[in-house]
Amino acid sequence: MKILVTGGAGFVGSHIVGAYVTAGHQVIVVDDLSTGKTENVHPQAQLVEMDVNDPRLLDLFVAEKPDLVNHHAANASVSLSVRQARFDATQNILGTLNVLEAARRAEVGKVIYISSGGAMYGAVAYLPMDEAHPANPVSPYALSKHTGERYVQLYGEVHGLQWTSLRYANVYGPRQDPHGEAGVVAIFCQNLLDGIVPEIHWDGEQTRDFVYVGDCARANLLALEGGNGQAYNVGTGVGTSINTLFHTLMDVAGQNLTPRRGPRRPGDARHSYLDCRKIERELDWQPEVTLHEGLERTWHHFAGLG
């Protein structure tokens, strides 16, 4: 199968590219390299440096005729979306529309759209949050990802474009950027390497759903053939406290530190984790990498231990 992956030079996207190449597929990566890195791209994948809003995207789709498009490219920074809502909407809504229109006109067979589980659902109505949980976005980023998913669904209904949406929990793993809008795992790892004691906001008992990037890659493999017309949560179904995350990382890194404590950040939810039984039931997917193993792999990557 020929697969085009937008954002395939980024943290999560590059892992999906690697999984596709390993499975024997031909992969084309479209990335503007604003946050992605060329060294992240699998050597057997073709890299095209291009923004998803570029009018030439259609020409690329027509020339390459991919069987499937995996759309990972997006502004992933919540804080940047608050500061620059227009930029966020341009990347995440108009960019998605450009991808969908190119896919429609080039007669692409299917689009896999990457959404956000926790952010899109917003204020927690019940736990764990399943795919029927009300969408109540509380940031421009969350709103733009939700809007993109609705456009994907609309293109399916109006134009017959096959699609699957994957709603990620808090993804962590090797290649995550510790700077800017980074995940807490990457920030903690970089702090340790820089000799900085990590800071935990609030009391650390707030919980999040941390899913290893390799497990996300497997979900993207299964979505190649299955899950048409469906949205799936991709997480562990378990809420892990930030305190537990910190102490597990200390164990992995062989360190014994007491974290600094910071105030609660505005808008921080107390608990947030996903119900992932639908993807287990319909695609036979479930997370395989434990938190300890995932943190060990991540720490070894950051520390250059292989």
Active site residue ranges: 141
Distance CA 271, CA 127 (A): 8
Question: b vs e for 43-61, b when ≥16 Cβ sit within 10 Å of the residue's Cβ?
Answer: eebebbebbbbbeebbebb
Q: How far apart are the first and last CA of the chain?
A: 31
Q: What is the dihedral of CA 113, 117, 123, 127, to 10 degrees?
A: 140
**141 token code pair:** 């980023």
CB atoms within 10 A of CB 168: 25
Q: Strands of the chain (E only): list them.
A: 2-6, 26-31, 46-49, 68-71, 110-116, 162-168, 170-172, 199-201, 207-208, 210-212, 230-234, 240-241, 260-262
Q: What are phi and psi of 46, to 5 degrees?
A: -90, 130
Omega before 178 within 30 of 0, i.e. cis: no
